[in-house]
Amino acid sequence: MDAILKSQAEHLAREMGTRVTTLDDLNGLMRAMMTTARERMLNTEMDVHLGRRTETTVTDNPTPDAPTTNATERVSAAPKSRRNGHSQKTVSGDLGDLQLRTPRDRNGTFEPQLVATGPRRLDGFDEKILALYAKGLTTRDIQDIVKDLYGVEVSPARVSEITTDLDAEVTAWRTRRLEGVWPIVYLDGIVVHVRGENGRVSPHTMYVAIGVNLQGRKELLGLWLSEAEGPKFWLSCLTDLKSRGVSDMFVVCVDGLSGLPEAIRAAFPRTKVQLCIVHRVRAARKYVTDSDSREVAADLKTIYPSATVLEAEEARETFATKWDAKYPTIVRPWRATWADIVTRFEFPGAIRKAIYTTNALESVNRVIRTFTRNRKPYPNAGRARKLVYLAIHEASKTWTMPIVGWKAARNHFAIVFEGRMPTRPPN
């Protein structure tokens, strides 16, 4: 905004401040100003189209050989025509519905760029509806909020029309190429309820894969849906990642599903598997009475913070001596999966901290749960994938920083996985 225009805007704002007494008055005045401004711009477009005015384009980076003026002029090359009245068009935007008078020409060749012929919504309005949808709001909720904020009636059909455009986006996202090397990958599944073709609502598992890239930032790698969680389907998910370009994963963190470590090693034989310690502790406390729960958790905590595998094994046996008689179902799973519990001890502290839990997925699971609580069961599998993708995509906007301690972890990864870590510097 140049100085003259800024001064005029400030003067207008002072005038409005003395005349406007309510928020509705202000919104009404802003709508009138927006309508007038857009109609003026549409008429200017028509003048250019008819050759009655030159279209000025400001040169951002003039070269030394360019003319001394900062603008170049272009006369419209459209065939001779003339104005032919106006057509009414209603468009929705942040300020509500705007009634615009769009100019027409006799030849019917005028195609306005400011407000295209087809769309009935201004730029940015659909994104706001999608953002509300991604927060888990129902169509009725969105209708009420948009009506209160913008004074615009949004029908369920319009919301469906807006979200339908997501289908192509989701398909492109699900088939996109991925980077070849991922130092850390987290795998988890969460139960959602989906209505099947027979009309029955049944539990399905939404499989989620999140990777930490070479820059230490989280990225959602894939979403898959199945009626049950199992290692066979996980293997198909991992195969899908391979087909999209993933060639190596250093460490995969999982919650302890039986058979999942074997599926990971079948797809990526050199990958290390780390069971989530937090999930192990939670699983153990399910078998413990409330009176013993705190003490059992405190004793388990003596195992995984150990400095070495030997110390961890000694702490495990001490725990077993104390609790095995009373709770034999606790120690047995720890012994059975011990090889994948102590993977973290193969790495320095910076990496241990990053892989000992799948908490990186907890925020994603919370988004899905919140979204599910606010909605009825998903009407079908395709809609479930689309809506969960939208919810996570909204949440991932906060994934802008590397995970804590990433620089130290990356340096250790480069040493531990020498020859497998790409040599190109991180972006």
pLDDT tens per residue across span 388-424: 887 787 778 788 888 888 888 888 898 889 889 887 6
Distance CA 293, CA 284 (A): 9
219 φ, ψ (degrees, to nearest 5): -150, 135
Distance CA 123, CA 128 (A): 10
144 φ, ψ (degrees, to nearest 5): -65, -45
- The 10s digit of each residue's pLDDT in 315-331 is 999 999 999 999 988 88
Confidence at residue 47, expressed as pLDDT on a 0 to 100 scale:
77
Distance CA 26, CA 31 (A): 9
| pTM tops 0.75 | no
Minimal CA–CA distance to 387: which of 194, 149, 243? 194
Tell me which amino acid residue 362 is.
E
Distance CA 424, CA 416 (A): 17
Minimal CA–CA distance to 212: which of 177, 247, 181? 181
Minimal CA–CA distance to 360: which of 236, 245, 153, 220? 220
Residue predicted with more confidence, 229 or 274: 274
Distance CA 96, CA 151 (A): 5
384, 378 in Cβ contact below 8 A?
yes
* Six token digits for residue 195: 């209505």
Tell me which amino acid residue 320 is.
A
| 19 alpha-carbon distance from chain centroid | 44
Count CA atoms closer than 13 A to 241's CA, side-chain side.
Answer: 28
Q: Which 3 state secondary structure label does DSSP give 229? A: coil
Distance CA 21, CA 16 (A): 9
Distance CA 230, CA 218 (A): 25
- The 10s digit of each residue's pLDDT in 218-240 is 999 999 988 877 888 999 999 99
Distance CA 53, CA 253 (A): 64
Confidence at residue 58, expressed as pLDDT on a 0 to 100 scale:
40
Residue predicted with more confidence, 216 or 13: 216
| 84 alpha-carbon distance from chain centroid | 47
Q: How are beta strands 248-254 and 181-195 bridged, if at all?
A: parallel
Q: Which residue has the tokens 């004793």?
A: 299
- The 10s digit of each residue's pLDDT in 30-69 is 666 666 766 776 777 777 777 765 544 444 444 444 444 3
Tell me which amino acid residue 5 is.
L
Tell me which amino acid residue 277 is.
I
Helix ranges (H only) for 135-288 are 139-150, 156-164, 166-174, 231-243, 260-267, 277-285
Distance CA 200, CA 193 (A): 10
- The 10s digit of each residue's pLDDT in 123-141 is 455 666 666 766 656 677 7
Greatest extent of the chain over all pairs of C-alpha atoms, in Å:
97
Residue predicted with more confidence, 191 or 164: 191
Reported as a pLDDT band with limits 50, 70 and 90, residue 209 is very high
Residue predicted with more confidence, 104 or 426: 104
Taking the CA atoms of 274, 279, 283 and 285 in sequence, report the sign of the dihedral they define.
Answer: positive
**C-alpha Rg value of the chain to the nearest Å:** 30
Distance CA 256, CA 262 (A): 11
Distance CA 414, CA 403 (A): 17
Taking the CA atoms of 233, 239, 245 and 247 in sequence, report the sign of the dihedral they define.
Answer: positive
Q: Which residues of 279-305 are buried (b: 16+ CB within 10 A; e: fewer)?
A: bbbebbbeebeeeeeeebeebbeebbe
Helix (H) or strand (E) holding 222: strand 218-226
Reported as a pLDDT band with limits 50, 70 and 90, residue 310 is very high
